[in-house]
Structure 1
């Protein structure tokens, strides 16, 4: 049904075997978790298709001829002083969600220790269906970056409206997963696999209103204006099951 189970089990094996993430340089802030993930997928013999920077998701896995194609977005944060560096994560220029082009997308989220060019041990790992973070698929697909022209004294400049979206990461939604290796899937998938143990459930409640738009003022003083609308699915619950390796 999904490659996520095999990938999760391979990732768990690597984590408990002490296979660390290796930065490409002391300044590497994003590639080492992607490389670690790619090694796990390669080891399973699954087709792996990386995308370019600022594309969502980072990888497509599978092929239409033999297996379903799924997306995997890779994010990581340092784990210092007994807690993650942040409670949220940045999504640059794209809105994360659990579907893209009609395909399921998963968020692979790491907490790591270490710094610089030294290997980074995996402190926590969570593979979660993207709907845990955001289930507004249509809004995510409709995202655009704009160029607003006519700016400056002579009207020759433009404002590059390239957005940064910030969402809570999976281990903020499921803090009991810190220090563990977890797989979070929609409850209606009804996963049954003898290699997995269901250890809990999560419920996410749909917000009362959706943000339809906003207006930014350039005087440096006036707060942004937001336009919202009552959601037709307000208050609905989305349920997810949490699994660990047996």
Structure 2
């Protein structure tokens, strides 16, 4: 059981009928997308629990009295010259692929036109299960922000290790999704819903090594040295079904 199908259908209707995202101000870089998505969930009458600016994920949908409970992390990006401004996206908090409390999480990715305080029409929308981005559990949560003391000539300075993760956007993994509204779910879910039509399949192969750590030489202009270890699940293929509303 998942709310993602009903939420996807509501998002599809809003996108295709021209319900734009409305910035709170000309400098709003993130809230307009969260507000738009939250309005779609609220209209369905589903329990909605925003987590705040630094919460992870942005929203929980559902509660303990109404299963399931699912997380939704919302990301937005401008469309420039007919293409996304970037091929990847940054996440300062636990990455949206990270499961939390054994609950499913989804990445909601919106491409928009417009700028400043004006309404921002949605060009492309994708709701993807976290596993499309990353299947690892625990890595991002244990990677904490740290302050390393003892820096500088007097030893009273510090280096701030600022956690940030970067992953390819769903539109990099599924470039035919540009200009579309799509839902991407694990193939094993195999939802049987007449309101959905499968338009494709995506496959992702697990890497052969896992980044365990990295080291940085402060004495020169050198790049970090990654330290990797073999993965027990190396080479396994994860398959995903891509859906649209007909």
Normalised by the length of structure 1, the TM-score is 0.97
Which residue number corresponds to residue 11 of structure 1? 11
CA distance in 2, matches of 1:49, 1:197: 30
Match of 1:137, SS state, is coil
Match of 1:124, SS state, is strand
Provide Cα deviations, 1:12-61, integer angstroms capped at 9, x if missing partner: 00001100000011111101000000000110011111112233211111
Q: Which runs of 4+ in 1 moved over 3 A?
A: none
Provide Cα deviations, 1:111-161, integer angstroms capped at 9, x if missing partner: 000011110000000000011011101223322111111122222222221
How many residues align? The count is 246
CA distance in 2, matches of 1:132, 1:211: 18
Which residue number corresponds to residue 140 of structure 1? 140
Q: Which runs of 5+ in 2 are unaligned?
A: none
Residues 61 and 71 in structure 1, CA contact (< 8 A), matched pair in contact too? yes
Q: Once the 2 structures are TM-superposed, how far is the Cα of residue 170 of structure 1 from its aligned partner? A: 0.3
Which residue number corresponds to residue 33 of structure 1? 33
Residues 54 and 94 in structure 1, CA contact (< 8 A), matched pair in contact too? no
CA distance in 2, matches of 1:35, 1:140: 26
Normalised by the length of structure 2, the TM-score is 0.97
Provide Cα deviations, 1:58-99, integer angstroms capped at 9, x if missing partner: 111101111211000000111121111000001114233152
Residues 61 and 70 in structure 1, CA contact (< 8 A), matched pair in contact too? yes
Computed over aligned residues only, the root mean square deviation of the Cα atoms, in angstroms, reads 1.1
CA distance in 1, matches of 2:141, 2:107: 17
